[in-house]
Structures are given as C-alpha cells and as structure tokens.
C-alpha cells in the first residue's frame, strides 16, 4: 500500500512538472468579425480546446486576444474553428451557409461580401416571376410553374408547392382560356379543365400526400402536353417504382439527376429516367 501511494505521488509530481514545462504560452491578437454578446459567447466557446486555449473577444474593437500553448495548439486551427462557428477572421472566412444560420442579431457585416453567383438556390416568386415569364410561350409558362410545384414536393414543402400552384392559377386566370385553347397551347382544349382543377386542388391542400396524388395526375397531363408543344431544352420523363401502392408514378424534370417529388428527402435519388422529351 505504502509503495502504491509513493508511486501515485511520484506520478502526480511528474505530470505536474510536465505541465509546468509545456506551459509555453503565447498571446496573439487577431481580428474576428461579429456583433453582439451572443457572438462573443459563440466565438469564445469555439476557440476553446483541451490544451487550455483561451480566446477573449472584444465586441467593440472586434479584436480577439488568444492565449495558447505554442507546442500543442496551432493558431491556425483555433481560427478555423472560429470560422466554422460562423465568424470571419484574418485567416479564414466562414462558410456561407453557416454564416446565414447564425442568429439574427449575429448577422454582422462581412468584411468580404459574397458574390451573388455563389448562392446555391434562387427562387422566383409572385409578380416578378410573372413579369419574367411574359416573354415565354404559354406552354413554357405552364411548364415552369409545374416544375416549381415539383420543387416544393421534392423539398417536402407543402406551402412551397401550394404557392407555386397559386402562381400558375393566377397565370391561367390572367390568360384568356379560350385563347390558350385555340392558338397557343396544343391539346389544351381536351385537357385544360381537368388541368386547372388539379392545380386548384394543389393550392387548396396543405397536405403533402394529397398534393402528391394530384401531382401524379398533373404530371401525366404535362407529359402529354410536352409531346405536342414547343419549349426550350430537354425534359426527362422519370419514374418512381414505389409510389401509388407500388404501381409507380411519373414526373417531368429538367435534370437527368433524379430528385423524387413523391418521397422527397426520404428517397431523394430513387427513380429512373424513362424517356427524354426533346425540346423544340
């Protein structure tokens, strides 16, 4: 017993000595952008590590004072962690998605702005969408809105698909039905009324599974219209083998890569392309 306690003491002493020896602390000042007290807490927490690194951030001057053990911690790693928590600094710029997920009060002015082209997804909404579409032919407008509804379903977002369906209804109402039927959209006379019913159905429902059932029938209609009418680029007629109790269901997409609107994120890549409908 005695020897064990001696051993323990020796062990304690030696680690203590080791600790004192490796305490080669260095203090550096680095600029870290941010706004408020909440930012301060996030930044300081992100910098901490098991080697005793401490960061103190001043929200007025935006200067971070970092004290760290030069032998064990690399300053670069500390600043990387701070950037990955959402805060731009002298060495690293935070990923855009992490920055955008920061709390509202933490949305500081970034020292280097993001170029618009880098944003991952830009959606068109409401009136501006309608104006942009004024130059397209009638079927292409219908097609665009249809793809918008599909996008909503892919994202499991019933309100998005419903909103896109509303835009389509507005367009259909603004356009003279008779005119669509006689001149612009081939096949509209036969399918127009059921088409409008389905789209209205989607606007009224906020239930994804109901929307998907209607979307299945809508897809058949748009497919047959696409065969008859002019549009730009190719369309892919794609198939999900599981929907509709295993009977399968189809949809149209501008992309060859499958994004399944019937199951959304649960089965995102499930499905295959049946046919390429060439643009005219």
Nearer to other proteins, 188 or 243 (CB): 243
What SS3 state is found at 63? strand
Query: Which CB atom, from 7 or from 84, has the smaller least distance to other proteins?
Result: 84
What's the farthest any 2 CA atoms get from each other in the chain?
104
Question: Restricting to residues 157-186, which ones interact with other proteins according to CB under 8 A?
Answer: 157
Helix (H) or strand (E) holding 8: helix 2-21
Determine which residue in the list 3, 5, 117, 159 makes contact with other proteins, applying CB under 8 A: 117
Residues 189-248 that bind other proteins (CB under 8 A): 241-242, 246
Contact range with other proteins by CB under 8 A, out of 83-91, 179-187, 191-199, 201-209: 83-91
DSSP letters, 125-183, are -HHHHHHHHTTS-HHHHHHHHHHHHHHHHHTT-HHHHHHHHHHHHHHHHHS-HHHIIII
Nearer of residues 1 and 115 to other proteins, judged by Cβ: 115
- What are 10's two structure tokens? 């020796």
Instruction: Pick the closer one to other proteins by CB: 146 or 195.
Output: 146
Q: How far is the CB of 270 from other proteins (least distance, A)?
A: 5
| Rg, C-alpha atoms of the chain | 29
Among 121, 135, 174, 209, binds other proteins (CB under 8 A): 121
**CA–CA gap between residue 36 and residue 50 (Å, rounded):** 26
Tell me the two tokens of residue 168.
């389509």
Helix 138-154 / helix 158-174 crossing angle, nearest 10 deg: 170
| Phi and psi, residue 90, nearest 5° | -60, -25
Does position 264 bind other proteins by CB under 8 A? yes
Q: Taking the complex as a whole, how short is the minimal distance between the CB of residue 225 and other proteins, in angstroms?
A: 25
Binding residue for other proteins, selected from 38, 169, 180, 270, defined by CB under 8 A: 270
Residues of this chain that bind other proteins (CB under 8 A) = 80, 83-84, 88, 90-95, 97-98, 100-101, 104, 107, 109-110, 112-123, 154-155, 157, 241-242, 246, 255-259, 264-266, 268-273
């Amino acid at each position: 017993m005695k020897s064990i306690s001696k051993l323990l003491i020796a062990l304690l002493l030696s680690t203590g000595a080791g600790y004192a020896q490796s305490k080669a602390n260095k203090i550096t000042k680095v600029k870290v952008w941010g706004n408020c007290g909440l930012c301060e807490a996030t930044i300081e927490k992100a910098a901490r590590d098991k080697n005793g690194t401490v960061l103190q951030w001043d929200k007025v001057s935006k200067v971070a004072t970092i004290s760290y053990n030069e032998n064990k911690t690399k300053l670069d790693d500390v600043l990387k962690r701070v950037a990955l928590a959402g805060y731009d600094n002298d060495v690293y710029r935070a990923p855009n998605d992490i920055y955008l997920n920061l709390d509202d009060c933490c949305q500081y002015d970034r020292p280097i702005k993001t170029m618009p082209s880098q944003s991952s997804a830009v959606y068109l909404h409401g009136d501006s969408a309608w104006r942009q579409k004024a130059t397209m032919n009638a079927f292409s407008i219908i097609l665009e809105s249809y793809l918008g509804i599909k996008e909503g379903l892919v994202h499991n977002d019933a309100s998005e698909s419903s909103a896109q369906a509303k835009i389509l209804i507005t367009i259909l109402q603004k356009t003279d039905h008779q005119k669509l039927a006689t001149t612009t959209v081939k096949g509209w006379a036969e399918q127009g009324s059921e088409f409008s019913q389905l789209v209205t159905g989607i606007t009224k429902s906020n239930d994804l599974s109901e929307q998907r059932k209607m979307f299945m029938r809508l897809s058949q209609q748009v497919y047959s219209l696409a065969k008859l009418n002019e549009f730009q680029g190719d369309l892919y007629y794609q198939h999900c083998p599981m929907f509709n109790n295993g009977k399968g269901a189809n949809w149209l997409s501008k992309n060859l890569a499958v994004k399944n609107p019937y199951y959304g994120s649960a089965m995102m890549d499930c499905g295959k392309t049946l046919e390429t409908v060439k643009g005219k």
